Structure 1
């Protein structure tokens, strides 16, 4: 099984408001090869962008891989590392606070991908000294800038 390193970061300007602009940055690393990807989105949220970045990164892999996935999103990392996913599924996609789990479809897709790949989620500090995480943040912001310019926002 190939060993791949993924860094993924999502962001959103105007999170929770109408016409929010989001984006993500992804870096895939296999041996000495690096691939950077960025994409912008309209009408989204920060959490959707964080999930979409991870999902799209895993979808780029052409075969089952062993993946070290780095993210500064506690939302994504803790859902897997702290067992939230299993609890949500057991409780019919309801949180411990008795609310419906948001972004259920994205979580289900991510679960499917983690069943295909062997994924280890690793939390990194956002906006710190992690060069690849900072680059993903930069790519996400470039994607949002491009989308805003393209749409005269």
Structure 2
């Protein structure tokens, strides 16, 4: 029997692209009764926060928390992890681009170094570890279906 984890993630950045930018990431686990438990992470000021860095950080946070949860279980079930994001960029990174970039030596289709490589490599390593225990799917959802993670992220940015 599979142990299901449903995780909603969101990242945000205020002042995107400016030196005064602040960023945050959030991950919210949804349990079988529909309740949520959330975590947040404030992005460091260097490298400069961006929306894309925040979205990938949210995925990293979700993967870390999923691995922590798995390690706390008193049995060793097959995992069925689904990570929901309203960022097409983050989902595409994790579903297909990351594999191409790894094969290309972290050079994008235009011949430039891949942006956010540091975070993407971390996400890839965590994803690989979690896949050793089961299945991991990254699913794009519309922003209005990501209310909990969006709220957590905005609350973190408001602090």
Band of TM-score, shorter chain: 0.7 to 0.9
What SS is found at the alignment partner of 2:112? coil
Q: Could you tell me which runs of 5 or more consecutive residues in structure 1 were left unpaired when the two chains were aligned.
A: 147-153
1:79 is aligned to: 93
Aligned to 2:76: none
User: What runs of 5+ residues in structure 2 fail to find an aligned partner?
Assistant: 72-78
My pick for the range that moved more, 9-18 or 41-50, is 41-50
Cα distance, 1:139 vs. partner? 1.1
C-alpha separation in 1, matches of 2:122 and 2:129 = 11
What displacement does 1:39 show?
3.1
TM-score (norm 1): 0.84
Partner SS, residue 43 of structure 2: strand
- Give the TM-score taking structure 2 as reference length: 0.81
How many residues are paired up?
141
Alignment root-mean-square deviation, CA: 1.6
| Structure 1 residue 27, shift from structure 2 partner | 0.6
**1:41: Cα distance to partner?**
3.1
Q: Hey, which bits of structure 1, 4+ residues long, moved more than 3 A?
A: none
- Judging changes above 3 Å, is the alpha-carbon distance between structure 1 residues 34 and 134 closer, same or farther for their aligned structure 2 residues? closer
Alignment partners' CA distance in 2, 1:96 and 1:23: 29
Aligned partners of 1:109, 1:24: CA distance in 2, in Å? 15
